Amino acid sequence: MFLDFLAGRARQAEQLYILGDLFEAWIGDDDIDDPYHTPIIAALRAASDAGLAISVMHGNRDFLLGDGFAARAGVRLISEPYILSTAEWQFVLAHGDALCLDDTDYMAFRAQVRDPAWQAALLAKPLSERRAIAAHMREVSETSQRAKENPYTDLQPAATEDFLRQHGYATFIHGHTHQPARHDHIVDGIHVERWVLSDWHEDCGECLAWDGEALHREILRPLAQ
């Protein structure tokens, strides 16, 4: 589905922003030739070579994406939060997990894996060991989610309002929570929109498109065979 998108609809845009979790797991740029990764990277490169400017943000599953990946895929890596200003409007982009403060276990995990020293120590390990570590981390995460009535924690309201205030009441776009929606916030008497991105599946995807006047969701289906 995503490959169809990169070969088709995405190329009608000037810019594409991917806000994290492009990959289920990324254990280092030396794993770039993994058979699952190569078609995605090739499709990104083809779209980039065709003139599409692609920006990629780290997510909680692919926080080790590095310059080697960016060079091969023809994309640029952006940090969060990222301010996107157009001639008509201003947006603030983020993966979203940094505001899930009520999930204290996850926030402790996030602090650990985003620490440069921890990342350097992990990347120093052999590729086979990193694969085993990633598989174990994924298993622990899935077990934890199954034990919860609602496995996906939403953004903390007070922290979200502070975030919107700090970033000039810009329209906020993020993913991570698996709860696609458009939220209306009133912060200091100002109406601010928050758009939550959808998951992608083999038979269905979704993107947000800005047409110069408004954001709108587009449901995407695989190309007819």
Residues annotated as binding site for substrate? 60-61, 103, 141, 145, 148, 176
Q: Report whether 92 contacts 83 (CB < 8 A).
A: yes
CA distance 158 to 152: 18
d(CA 118, CA 52): 34
Tell me the chain's radius of gyration from C-alpha atoms: 18
HSE-CB at 32 with a 13 A cutoff on CA atoms is 14
- Neighbour count for residue 48 (Cβ, 10 Å): 17
DSSP SS3 for 46 = helix
User: Where is the binding site, in residues?
Assistant: 21, 60-61, 95, 103, 141, 145, 148, 176, 178
Pairing of strands 171-174, 190-196: parallel
What does the block give as tokens for 215?
């954001």
Query: Binding site for Mn(2+): which residues?
Result: 21, 60, 95, 176, 178
Q: Which token pair is 204? A: 């269905």
Q: Is 62 exposed, middle or buried (0-12, 13-18, 19+ CB in 10 A)?
A: buried
Q: How far apart are CA 169 and CA 167, in angstroms?
A: 6
- C-alpha count within 13 angstroms, C-beta hemisphere, residue 33: 2
